[in-house]
A and B are shown apart, each in its own frame.
Chain A
């Protein structure tokens, strides 16, 4: 049974760097075709895909945020980490990690999400 859980600070100040951890179980991120992505959702707004890391350590980022995002994985710990630099109040959102269905980039299992508020 696949499950994912996001963790990180709930409040962060402008200009700081956000570090989010996704801890998962029920699958291996070393298995061919597997990936873990991050998606965010500002309050009352739509979903926005941010980043994806593949089983082979290949990475993809949304172009508008590429310069601020870094995604990494620790296969031994079953964790994926997303860092976002230079946080701004407009980055206030619920951040989700999700399992990429093998071979196709849609997300079949999601974490519950974590609300990150950017405020001084």
Chain B
């Protein structure tokens, strides 16, 4: 199975900060990576697919990059609505498809 490792596990930031979350795959997954945002008590919301393709309706302050085994999610200017937990998910080839352990973005 492909293991996905996110860092950091928790990130303390302020409104307006630039935030970067890293996701590493245990083997190459090309660009087959998605990012989700999850707020407390809610279902995950899809943000980015194919490592860098922003889903329609997602604010442009979110961006993704990377390929192979290392990926990043960047929020260019953190907004109050962005405090949440973020998960990466690899969907390379056939199953199993795996998620990272999550990164919680909290208020500093």
Contact = CB atoms under 8 A, between A and B. Distances in A.
- Size range of the chain A interface in the assembly: 20 to 34
A98 B49 CA distance: 16
Nearest to A97: B43
Interface stretch (A21-29, A72-80, A85-93, A109-117): A109-117
B59 interface: no
B43 A105 contact: no
Nearest to B43: A110
Interface string B26-40: 000000101010100
Interface residues of B, number: 24
A104 B49 CA distance: 10
Nearest to B100: A46
Given A104-B32, A108-B55, A48 B99 contact: yes
A48 B45 CA distance: 15
B35 to A, nearest CB: 10
A47 B34 contact: no
Interface in B16-62: 32, 34, 36, 38, 42-46, 49, 55
Contacts of B43: 96, 98, 110-113
Contacts of A101: 49
A68 to B, nearest CB: 15
A67 B87 CA distance: 27
10 contacts: A39-B99, A46-B87, A46-B99, A46-B100, A46-B102, A60-B95, A62-B95, A62-B96, A63-B1, A105-B95
B60 to A, nearest CB: 19
B91 interface: yes
A46 B99 CA distance: 8
Contact of A106 (B38, B42, B89, B101): B89
